[in-house]
Amino acid sequence: MNKQNIVVTGAGGTLCSVIAVDFAKQGHNVVLVGRSLDKLQKVEEEIRSFGGSCVCITADVKDEARMMQVREEVHKVYGPVTILINGAGGNQPDAVTTINEFDPKELTDDRGGLRGFFNLDMKKFLDVIEINTLGTVIPSRVFALDMIEQGHGNIINFASMNTYRPLSRVPAYAIAKAGVSNFTQWLAAYLAPAGIRVNAVAPGFFVNERSKKLLTTPEGGLTSRGQHINYNTPMHRFGEAKELIGCVNWLVNDEAASFVTGITVPVDGGFLSSAGL
């Protein structure tokens, strides 16, 4: 694949940082976008260590005016963008229940630390939906303009296991990630006449900063939830960020995947193939 100008949102995160570094190792120009400059600079430092080309830009992907500014900044450094990785997203603890099913205590004042559907923080709930949905829609609107002008391009969105199954405790995240897959299909059909392919990857269970406390113990073992996930994953382990690279590289390759658009590819160790029985 010829040298491309690639924007990676959420580039300071566990998964997209590895993807961004791999793109740089292939000789592409990589734009690292995220809200935390410290996290982006760590990725930048790694890329610079082997002579790769990258630039860090802080931005809220839900802010369309700011993302248009980011586009202008990228043009000054590299020119038009040909590949967009929509990796920004995630969940928030206050939008996650502490129980798997209804408990009458959640309707009382004496619930302690119990957090159920009826006492979730709706502001945090909406924040989760917005960062995962609008955080995918807005960068697509902005950088697809470059691709339309060039007559080709690729957009890769990040879905989840929640795209296929509404996993317990994470209702806001489940709503959002189901929406990301549906939007991927819609946008793929809409942009096909412009020569732009739109696909998504759906990572299985990969341990990141947010999920570490939920899945692992301070001693390095697994929580009951972590054990349950591994039991229901035929490969009986969590994924490693580097294991997403092959799928992403295939999807953005205009020769290897030239007739592929509108799909969501699970990279899940077989999780979706197992009923747990």
Specify the residue for token string 């709503």: 175
Which of 78, 164, 173, 231 is catalytic? The answer is: 173
Residue 218 exposure: Cα atoms within 13 Å on the Cβ side? 0
C-alpha 264/C-alpha 184 separation (Å) is: 8
Would you give the distance in Å from CA 33 to the centre of its chain? 13
Alpha helix segments (H runs only) across 98-161: 122-150
CB atoms within 10 A of CB 245: 18
Specify the residue for token string 């963008």: 81
C-alpha 245/C-alpha 268 separation (Å) is: 13
Residue 190 known to be catalytic: no
Sign of the alpha-carbon torsion through 92, 8, 130, 175: negative
C-alpha 145/C-alpha 9 separation (Å) is: 17
Give the chain's length: 277
Q: Give every strand in the sheet of 53-58, ordered side by side.
A: 53-58, 29-34, 5-9, 83-86, 153-158, 196-203, 264-267
Are 86 and 156 in contact by the 8 Å Cβ rule? The answer is yes
Residues annotated catalytic, as ranges: 173
